[in-house]
Structure 1
Amino acid sequence: MTNNKGAVIGSLILLFFIITSAFAPWFATYPVNEMNFEDSLKGPSVEHWLGTDEFGRDIWTRILYGGRVSLLMGLFAVVVSGTIGVILGVVAGYYRKLDMYIMQFIDILMVFPSLLMAIAIVAVLGVGLTNAMIAVAISAVPSFVRVVRGAVLTIRETEYVEAARALGLRNFKIIFKHILPNVTSPIIILATLDFGSAILSAASLSFLGLGAQPPNPEWGALVYVGKSFLSQAWWMTLFPGLAIMLVVLGFNLLGDGLRDALDPKSK
């Protein structure tokens, strides 16, 4: 993967945001919620690298702390959707009697665009950061199910799995010893790509006022607040938007690199 320039660039972008977000207090130039109305709506300067918002809060600092929230939302969505999706995908691919029922349910979910489904789930659960994380996670489950099921359908017909059955191994042991280790590559690739998509979906929900709420410095919420001051303080929208774009780009580049490295068919 080191020969893939895109993957290297993506890794460096992600490394920058992960480090600066994880150690935000060290990199921040001001307290995250410190208000100074004398400095309100000031453009980028030596004192405030990325400018200030309507309350005089430092945009650079709020982006750093907002990275914690956005990256955590993406991680939660991928872990939850990946866990549920892998379980359902393995069951559907290995137990053919259950395949039809599971995939009919997944096909119904896939009729709706992921963002529209997330909005519908938030509408049922209620507005808030936690509910937005749950909604994004649920909306990402179908992609994991379909990818894992497809891989399992191929592997379950291989000779070594047939031999394991002939030797009398239980299905549970066959799944964990012979099938799951051989579907890790597509899972890793999909999880990397979905990480960026989850962050984008979470930011979209916050932008629509359904996710993180002010004064929470989540990137989508920062863009949402900044749009009201677009004509007089463009930096309030531009820099959080760039942060979202760069992180999603980083995950996409890294995911493409992992696909080239782990998937022989892509070469």
Structure 2
Amino acid sequence: MYALAGSCHPGPVVAVTALMVALAVTADQSAARSLLTGAAVLTGQLSVGWCNDAFDAHRDTAAGRRGKPVVDGAVGVRQVWWAAYAALALCVPLSFACGLCAGVVHLAGVAAAWGYNLWLKATAWSWAPYAVGFAALPAFVALGLPEHPWPAWWVVTTGAMLGVGAHLGDVLPDIREDLATGVRGWPHRLGRQRARLLLPVPLVAASAVLALGPVGPPGRWAAAALVASSVLAVAGTLLGRRWEQAAFSAAVAVAVVDVALLLLRGTGLA
């Protein structure tokens, strides 16, 4: 059981689920609805994580990526596939329990993530499932509110930009190994250097949308977050020329600022 849990990419699963529950709370969903939102997101993320590890098992083995339960033989590929299907089966009713439109939007995001795992990961369109999947999450929270209002444009745009940034950050450390196993997604085609330079761009763009998109003046916190994101991005780019990890760390810091600003703006999702 421990090995199966380790095969779902537990870090991202927990982070995304916790963020969506927090966003649901700040958006004034009830406690029960926030928990339901979290359950739907959790099962969707579990299905995506298990699907990824099961489908990529042969590539991970070929690349010698030790530390993965499937590669290490701690859990079988068939078991991981069954776990992915079971989580997906639970995700469907949980998503629709939040409303018809909310369910459709969330399941579209989950479907995009499965599409990435099974096909688009190795194409020039590898960024698209991340953009769709991340845009669907805050939209799902907004549509789960009473009267199911459509999410504000800046919410969906921010999610999509954060998704593109997450894609670049997720792929960047593994570009060489991926190329060796035949994966040529969008970041791989850009090359390691250009992907590193591009990494903070969608994240800072998300900061700008979060700060300037909602109706009314941005306020001092939003303005400070935008300035902080820009400074971090520039510093990471400059330091990244000599220390690549600095660029990645700066991008993570910008993403943290974006998440904090998104939670701050939570009451205006719709």
Q: TM-score range by the shorter chain?
A: 0.3 to 0.5
Q: Which has the larger radius of gyration?
A: 1
TM-score by length of 2: 0.33
Q: RCO (CA 8 Å, sep 6+): is it higher in 1 or 2?
A: 1
- TM-score (ref. length: structure 1): 0.33
Bigger helix share:
2
